[in-house]
Amino acid sequence: MKLKDKVAIVTGAASGIGKEIAMTYAREGAKVAIADLNLEAAQATAAEIEAKHGRAIGVAMDVTDEDAVNRGVEQVVSELGGVDILVSNAGIQIVHPVEEFAYADWKKMLAIHLDGAFLTTKACLPHMYKAGGGSVIYMGSVHSKEASLLKAPYVTAKHGLLGLAKVVAKEGAKHGVRANVICPGFVRTPLVDKQIPEQAQTLGISEEEVIRNVMLKETVDGEFTTIEDVAEVALLFASFPSNALTGQSMVVSHGWFMQ
Ligand code: NAD
């Protein structure tokens, strides 16, 4: 087991990619905290993990609320004994052309993706420093490297995570804390399923065309990336044994973006 007795907090883990990462970490021996806006769903995911693999708890956390983040992290430390791994994964998507984007929606997107990453990192680092090591993983996107129509705040925020990871990698190095970014292509989760009809309507094309000609057009094989693909990269970043792998971003996208 690659993560035996490690403690991991995964935000936005009641659903989609975060849920699969939490499952994978638990399978590898970690104790996991499912931190999500939706407490009921977080507890249901934790119960699913406990039935299959081992220790998991659901934690109520709005990643944009500093008090809620600090309370949630303290709960994890007192119930599970520390924090070794943070996966800052919670995210949403809102799509509009720039000239029609409501300022409130722009701010909401940056708050969840960037403030959430900052606040959870800030709350977890002292525990990692005290323990002498840890791994911080940000859920970026191919949109950390590329742009797409209609996604101004998402692309802006996902690019921003690369900068945050590099600073945390530099500051954390002497404490044995690494920071890296995972950059997935399109993965069929509720977040993407919601976008398909929205984009079809905004772009005036069919849902099939959104999938074929927008989402998967640049991949090498027309395939979606899977939650399992992303969880494998999250396991690599969490379990890597030294500072050799820090300040990096890894794209997992069926070749949509090649660096
Ligand atoms: P999802 O909608 O399945 O899950 C997102 C989870 O985040 C939900 O459980 C939701 O309750 C939670 N959440 C939302 N706002 C929150 C908040 N303020 N505080 C705490 N939790 C909150 O989405 P997903 O596709 O699994 O996305 C997870 C991450 O992966 C996001 O950061 C997303 O940008 C990124 N990503 C997704 C894809 C994709 O194609 N699905 C591709 C690249 C990157």
Question: What pLDDT digit, counting tens, does each position of 215-244 carry?
Answer: 999 999 999 999 999 999 999 999 999 999
The predicted structure's pLDDT at residue 6: 98
Q: Is the CB of 110 under 6 A from ligand 1?
A: no
Average of per-residue pLDDT across 57-82: 98
SS3 141: coil
What spacing in Å lies between the alpha carbon of 190 and ligand 1's midpoint? 8
Pocket test for ligand 1, best of 10, 11, 15 (most atoms within 8 A of CB): 15
Residue 88 has pLDDT above 90, yes or no: yes
The answer to whether position 37 is within a domain reads: yes
Among 72-76, 132-136, 141-145, 197-201, which is the least confidently predicted range? Answer: 197-201
Phi, psi dihedrals of residue 34, rounded to the nearest 5°:
-95, 100
Average pLDDT over the chain, rounded to whole?
A: 97
The answer to whether position 135 is within a domain reads: yes
Average of per-residue pLDDT across 111-128: 98
pTM for the model: 0.98
The predicted structure's pLDDT at residue 41: 97
Q: Where is 86: in which H helix or E strand? A: strand 85-88
Q: What is the CATH number of the domain that holds 60?
A: 3.40.50.720
Percentage of the chain surpassing pLDDT 90?
97
Closest of 16, 157, 136, 6 to residue 76, by C-alpha: 6
The predicted structure's pLDDT at residue 54: 85
CA 1 to mean position of chain CA atoms: 22
Q: Is the CB of 182 under 6 A from ligand 1?
A: no
Q: Is the CB of 92 under 6 A from ligand 1?
A: yes
pLDDT band at 192 (very low <50, low <70, confident <90, very high): very high
The answer to whether position 212 is within a domain reads: no
Residue 151 has pLDDT above 90, yes or no: yes
Joined together, the tokens standing for residue 237 give: 């970043």
- Distances 202 to 87, 91, 100, 195, 206 between C-alpha atoms, Å: 32, 22, 12, 10, 10
Pocket test for ligand 1, best of 154, 191, 192 (most atoms within 8 A of CB): 191
The answer to whether position 208 is within a domain reads: no
| d(C-alpha 68, C-alpha 191), whole Å | 23
Active site (annotated) includes residue 25: no
What spacing in Å lies between the alpha carbon of 88 and ligand 1's midpoint? 10
> C-alpha angle with apex 217: 214 to 221, nearest 5 degrees?
145
Going by C-beta distance under 8 Å and a sequence separation of 6 or more, which residues neighbour residue 246?
A: 169, 172, 173, 178, 179, 180
Nearest alpha carbon, ligand 1 atom 41: 187
Residue at 14: amino acid letter: A
| Torsion region of 222: left, alpha or beta (phi above 0 gives left; psi -120 to 50 gives alpha) | left
Residue at 10: amino acid letter: V
pLDDT band at 131 (very low <50, low <70, confident <90, very high): very high
Average of per-residue pLDDT across 147-162: 97
Q: Is the CB of 256 under 6 A from ligand 1?
A: no
Q: Is the CB of 153 under 6 A from ligand 1?
A: no
Average of per-residue pLDDT across 174-196: 96
Residue 147 has pLDDT above 90, yes or no: yes
pLDDT band at 55 (very low <50, low <70, confident <90, very high): very high
Length of the chain: 259
| d(C-alpha 24, C-alpha 86), whole Å | 14
The answer to whether position 221 is within a domain reads: no
Question: Which domain covers residue 20, as residue numbers?
Answer: 7-185+226-252
Q: How many domains does the chain have?
A: 1
SS3 148: coil
Nearest alpha carbon, ligand 1 atom 10: 12
Q: Is the CB of 184 under 6 A from ligand 1?
A: yes
pLDDT band at 53 (very low <50, low <70, confident <90, very high): confident
The answer to whether position 174 is within a domain reads: yes
Q: At what angle do helices 227-239 and 16-27 cross, to 10 degrees?
A: 50
> Which position among 25, 103, 138, 154 bears the catalytic label?
154
pLDDT band at 78 (very low <50, low <70, confident <90, very high): very high
pLDDT band at 60 (very low <50, low <70, confident <90, very high): very high
SS3 3: coil
Residue 259 has pLDDT above 90, yes or no: no
The answer to whether position 1 is within a domain reads: no
Going by C-beta distance under 8 Å and a sequence separation of 6 or more, which residues neighbour residue 51?
A: none
The answer to whether position 82 is within a domain reads: yes
Average of per-residue pLDDT across 140-152: 96
What spacing in Å lies between the alpha carbon of 17 and ligand 1's midpoint? 7
Q: Is the CB of 17 under 6 A from ligand 1?
A: yes
What spacing in Å lies between the alpha carbon of 174 and ligand 1's midpoint? 31
The residue behind tokens 């409130």 is 104
69 in Cβ contact with 123 (< 8 Å): yes
